[in-house]
A and B are shown apart, each in its own frame.
Chain A
Amino acid sequence: MPTAHPALELDQLKVGDSLPQRTFTPDNKQLFLYNAVLWNAHRIHFDHPYAMEVEEYPGLVIAGPLLGDWMHQCIEEWLGSSGRLMSIEYSNRSASYIGESLSSGGVITQIDKANRQVTLEVFITNEQGDIIAPGVATVELT
Chain B
Amino acid sequence: MSSLLSDELMSAVGRTSEPHREIVTRRDIRKYAIATDSRQAKYLSGDEAPPMFHVSLFWDVVPLDELSPDGVSIDSLLPTFPLKKAMAGGLKIDYFRTIRPGDWLTATRTLSAIYEKAGRSGALIFYEVVMDIMDDESRLVIREKTTRILR
Contact = CB atoms under 8 A, between A and B. Distances in A.
A73 B39 contact: yes
Contact of A41 (B36, B55, B67, B92): B67
Interface stretch (B5-13, B83-91, B106-114): B83-91
A77 B52 contact: no
Interface string B13-44: 00000000000000010011011111111000
Interface residues of A, number: 42
A118 B61 CA distance: 37
B39 A2 contact: yes
A115 interface: no
Contacts of B91: 65, 68, 88-91
A37 B52 contact: no
Contact of B51 (A24, A37, A76, A91): A76
Given A65-B55, A77-B39, A94 B88 contact: yes
Contact of B92 (A34, A47, A88): A88
Contacts of B72: 41-42
A43 interface: yes
Contact of B36 (A34, A47, A85, A89): A34
Interface residues of B, number: 33
Nearest to B147: A91
Interface in B95-150: 95, 147
Contacts of A66: 36
A41 B69 CA distance: 10
A86 interface: yes
A86 B67 contact: no
A70 interface: yes
Contact of A65 (B37, B39, B52, B95): B52
Contact of B40 (A36, A41, A77, A88): A77
A37 B92 contact: no
Contacts of B88: 64, 91-94
Contact of B35 (A33, A43, A85, A92): A33
Would you list the 9 A-B pairs with minimal beta carbon distance, nearest first?
Answer: A91-B90, A41-B71, A89-B92, A33-B35, A34-B35, A43-B71, A38-B59, A69-B36, A87-B94
Interface of B: 28, 31-32, 34-41, 50-52, 55-56, 59-62, 67, 70-72, 88-95, 147
6 contacts: A2-B39, A30-B35, A42-B71, A42-B72, A69-B50, A85-B95
Given A41-B71, A70-B37, 19 more contacts: A1-B41, A33-B31, A33-B35, A37-B31, A39-B61, A41-B72, A55-B70, A64-B88, A69-B36, A70-B36, A72-B50, A72-B51, A73-B36, A73-B37, A77-B40, A85-B95, A89-B93, A91-B89, A92-B89
